[in-house]
Amino acid sequence: MRKRFNKWSALLTAGAMTMTLLSGCQKAASTDGTGQTSKAEETTQTTAQTTTAEEKKDSADAGSTPRNETLYFNGQQWGTINDWNPLSSNSNNAMAITQNDNARVIVYETLFMYNMLDGKLYGLLGKDYSWNDGQTELTITLNPDAKWSDQTPVTAQDVAYTFDCHKKYASAQGSDYSNYIDSVVAKDDHTVIFKAKLDDKGLPVNPLKVVEYVPKIYVMQKAYLQKVEQRNGNDADKIKQDRMDDFVASGPYKSYYNDDQKVVFVRDDNYWGKALWGKLPAPKYLTHVIYENNAAGDTAFKSGEVDVSQQFITNVQKLWEEDGLPISTYIDEAPYGVCATMPTAFFNVEKPGLDRKEVRKAIAMAVDYDQIIASAMSNQSPSFKDVPRSIMNPTSGEQALVNQEALKDYQFTGNDVEGAKALLDKAGIVDKDGDGIREIDGKNLTFKAECPDGWTDWNASLEIVAAAGSKIGIGIETYFPDANTFYDDMTTRKFDICMWNPPAASVANPWGRAMAFMSTDYANLKVNWTGNYGGYINEDANNLLKKIPLETNKDTLKEYYTELSRIYLDEVPSFSLMYRPMLFHAVNESVWTGFPQLDDGDNIPPTDCTDGYGIAALYKLVNVK
């Protein structure tokens, strides 16, 4: 096992977000692009393999890939794969299709890869990019080596047709990005131009969203998309529901075997990326067993049956300090990973009672966050006392963009029961009938707080929220439905209080996170996977959100972000319960070594060897068996 590095402070020096401004215990990776994980319902039959004839295996043989050639995962794939379709909104194919802040690029590939450690974009299918002076056109030159799995070249026509299909068939991505990208045009085979949507003054609506597209949205082959269109009669719903078992992709791995027990990918030894990386990825196979629950996944990880774990592990440090296991995390000390996201309780501001900011803030003030961090997170999060609240994550790049001194009067660090009671009393929100529950207009303040069943750290966090409510005369009942029920509740606003991740680290953050917290653009979506799930509307915040993508002056940006944070802390449309790693990244080094670690000099982020520039880890691994 490699030497550990005891430098928590180095975590906060990642100036990743500066570049942005210049131009569960979780059970499964969801298909909505959040990076959060959950156990989805197994609603479909076993997915067919996409393999050549000589690679097809029967069920008995599929699990017998050589251990010294196989990298095993847990915490990402739960349940049977539904499809291989990047246009789908319900693939449940987290190992292959996760168009997150850092898209997973082992099968499908994006134009560029984002690295949250330095805030830079690294070329993949794209080689370089540049804006024109007015940021109305983003020109991308493609990597001339890039090829599809059928060995035909990746062209600008593929890039343009992918965007057209997302837009034409109103995929979730198309519905989002078509608001900011007017068109994608192939100038020639290796040059593509993203033309920004312009406002009535001829200015780009949002250059950040144009840039965000390139490391997030997979490029698909035009010829294959046309084949899918033809067999579905150009019907949008059928196209988005096509299983695409015969998919063509460009990444280093392809489907080998999958059922309700495991998912196996095999390396494409003809992968074009040898020209980019200098070699093929070290593991020949990537395998994710479908574990019944986190306990089973943890047991496999501790025994060395799993190499890379994307599961929250309580007191992970005990695995090496007390158990002596060859297990390592990206950082040696708590929080053990790069805390770049902020799991948040969103209030449905349309619910009577929760439409009052005094009620929302009182709940947020009364919650014991130190208890959440100590018990639910086993200290795998910095404290809100150490990193005061704002719309920023705790990295130094984002913290430099907010004036915390100006926010002092709006801060709350939690467990302020008396302060919360005084706030409610002053607002006239009191218990009039003596039943222990405060009332508004004669109705008791009682609410449900929900997140998916089995996300044990999140479940525990909401129990602490509920306990805070009882201390101040507000009834909060926890509700932990299955993941699919929760997704429906959250995305259609059928909740009182729900817990979810806002965007973490990406080329468009912290702006994207501010949008997820407060954007009116999301408030009226019929099905909302994007943010502002509670429907909060504030035109002052909305105006600031529109200005930020066009602003390049750092001092002005700091003013904007500070004012957004002031509104957020004053109005409390939602409140974060903890800071948290974007992905958990614990590794067992009994079979493979060479995983990314802080200060190892490789600049590879701890994104499970699969997401964004984190895939570079696959080229550094060394087998020790």
- Per-residue HEC secondary structure of 221-244 comes to CHHHHHHHHHHCCCCHHHHHHCCC
What pLDDT, in 10s, does the model give residues 216-243? 999 999 999 999 999 999 999 999 999 9
CB 168 within 8 A of CB 219: no
Residue 459 CB-half CA count within 13 A: 17
SS3 category, 339: strand
Predicted pLDDT at 272: 98
Helix and strand totals (H; E) in the chain:
20, 24
Three-state secondary structure along 30-97? CCCCCCCECCCCCCCCCCCCCCCHHHCCCHHHHCCCCHHHEEEEECCCCCCCCCCCCCCCCCCCCCCC
Predicted pLDDT at 61: 62
Q: Which residues does residue 196 pair with via DSSP β-bridges, in sequence order? A: 181
**Domain with residues 24-241, CATH architecture:** Alpha-Beta Complex (3.90)
Interatomic CA distance for residues 39 and 255, integer angstroms: 21
| Amino acid letter, residue 417 | V
Interatomic CA distance for residues 238 and 87, integer angstroms: 11
What's the DSSP call for residue 75?
S
SS3 category, 505: coil
Find the distance separating the first CA and the last CA of the chain, reported in whole Å. 14
Predicted pLDDT at 32: 33
Residue 555 CA to its chain's centroid (Å): 29
Q: Are strands 70-74 and 586-588 parallel, antiparallel or unpaired?
A: unpaired
Q: Are strands 308-309 and 586-588 parallel, antiparallel or unpaired?
A: antiparallel
CB 530 within 8 A of CB 517: no
pTM, entire model: 0.82
For tokens 């690679």, name the residue. 55
Specify the domain boundaries for CATH 3.90.76.10 within the chain.
24-241
Interatomic CA distance for residues 265 and 597, integer angstroms: 25
Spans of the chain, pLDDT less than 50: 1-57, 59-60
For domain 339-581, give the CATH superfamily: Dipeptide-binding Protein; Domain 3 (3.10.105.10)
Specify the domain boundaries for CATH 3.10.105.10 within the chain.
339-581
Sheet strands (E) in 343-480? 344-347, 439-440, 443-444, 446-450, 475-479
Interatomic CA distance for residues 481 and 340, integer angstroms: 27
Residue 542 CB-half CA count within 13 A: 11
Predicted pLDDT at 62: 53
In DSSP notation, 106-118 reads: SSS--SEEEETTT
Phi, psi of 323 (to 5 degrees): -90, -15
**CA 301, 394, 594, 607 torsion-angle sign:** positive
Q: Which residues does residue 29 pair with via DSSP β-bridges, in sequence order? A: 37
The CA-atom distances, in angstroms, between 241 and each of 100, 115, 187, 492 are: 20, 32, 31, 21
Interatomic CA distance for residues 542 and 577, integer angstroms: 24
Predicted pLDDT at 4: 41
Quote the tokens at residue 555.
């001092």
Three-state secondary structure along 380-407? CCCCCCCCCCCCCCCCHHHHCCCCHHHH
Residue 172 CB-half CA count within 13 A: 26
The CA-atom distances, in angstroms, between 206 and each of 141, 154, 390 are: 21, 27, 23
Nearest residue to 179 via CA among 557, 504, 537, 519: 519
Predicted pLDDT at 496: 98
Nearest residue to 193 via CA among 166, 216, 218, 159: 159
Interatomic CA distance for residues 440 and 442, integer angstroms: 5
